[in-house]
Amino acid sequence: MSFSKKVKDELFDRYPAARHCMLAELAAMTLGCGTVVFEGDRVQELEICTENEALARKYFTLLQKIFNIVDVEIRERKPNAQAKGNAYSIILRKEDGVERIGRALKLEHAASGGDGFCVNPLIAQNTCCKRAYIRGGFLAGGSLSDPKKAYHFEVVFSALEKAEQMKQIFQSFLIEAKVIRRKKYFVLYVKEGAQIVDLLNIMEAHLALMELENVRILKEVRNDVNRQVNCEAANITKTVKAAAKQLEDIRYIRDSIGFEKLPEGLREIAKLRMEYPEASLKELGEMLSVPLGKSGVNHRLKRLGEIAESGKAM
């Protein structure tokens, strides 16, 4: 089972307690997979089409809870010959009180034309209603990548106006989403792991949230370990290169100038470095007749490097 399906299965069983929140969720689901026919400003027909049986079931259940509708036309058909599952249609007409439903869901003509309708933002004024609205939008047109592979949350809309409206609701929760065009659709997406966790919390997908957080923790621990290993490897490489250069300088001084011409302190550190090529600066300092710290040892080795460069003892 995909992670996206796990999230949706959890949310299909989540019903708001308040009527206004139910309306917000139903409105967002209508926006995502509905078609509306108007006569003037009045809704004359509303059709919901989906290939997700659980979504059709939840839509019908919300209609029952809010409007006490028990007899609605529901059609089941094969979308095409190759399709594995069925498509479901819920059709509401005048005799079903569709005009009253349209008013309650605040369905309106879309300002930009397009596919003909939008939802008045007043449907999701309260924070609780915004949560329900996001949940409904995700159930109707959303998906979520497997967090083990990538962080990607998206909701697909048929019109830019609808995507921008949802984007504003995201922003009210400090979720920064972006909108892109994908063929004839508009996709609202979030790619930041922590913000996807926030979205799951907003939608009340708490089981999925815990699973995602576990994945994020494992990823962060793995990344921290990799960073430390890479850092240590880089330090070792740097130390090895520095020691090789020091040995090269010391051999040059020994062969061309002679240790006897070096000051005692430089002569001692030069001999120690040749004898212990893999020792750290701290270890070399502790071996000196008069122990030195790392900075003191480093200073003497730098002086040896300068002598080798100049070609004469100083």
Q: What is the pLDDT of residues 120-168, one digit of tens each?
A: 999 999 999 999 999 999 999 999 999 888 899 999 998 899 999 999 9
In whole angstroms, give the CA distance from residue 218 to residue 225: 11
The 10 Å Cβ neighbour count of residue 108 is 16
Mean pLDDT of the chain: 88
More confident residue, 15 or 69: 15
pLDDT at site 82: 65
**Strand ranges (DSSP E) for the chain?**
34-39, 42-50, 73-77, 87-92, 107-109, 117-119, 142-144, 153-157, 178-182, 185-190
Task: For 275-294, write each residue's pLDDT tens digit.
Answer: 888 788 888 888 888 888 98
Query: Any bridge partners for residue 188, and if so which?
Result: 155, 179
In whole angstroms, give the CA distance from residue 4 to residue 265: 69
Structure tokens at 5: 């399906």
In whole angstroms, give the CA distance from residue 158 to residue 32: 8
Contacts of 314 (CB under 8 A, 6+ apart): 303, 306, 307
Looking at residue 259, its amino acid is F
pLDDT at site 282: 87
3-state SS, residue 177 = coil
In whole angstroms, give the CA distance from residue 289 to residue 280: 17
DSSP string across 70-125: ---EEEEE-SSTT-SS-EEEEEE-GGGTHHHHHHHTTEEE-TT-TTSEEE-GGGG-
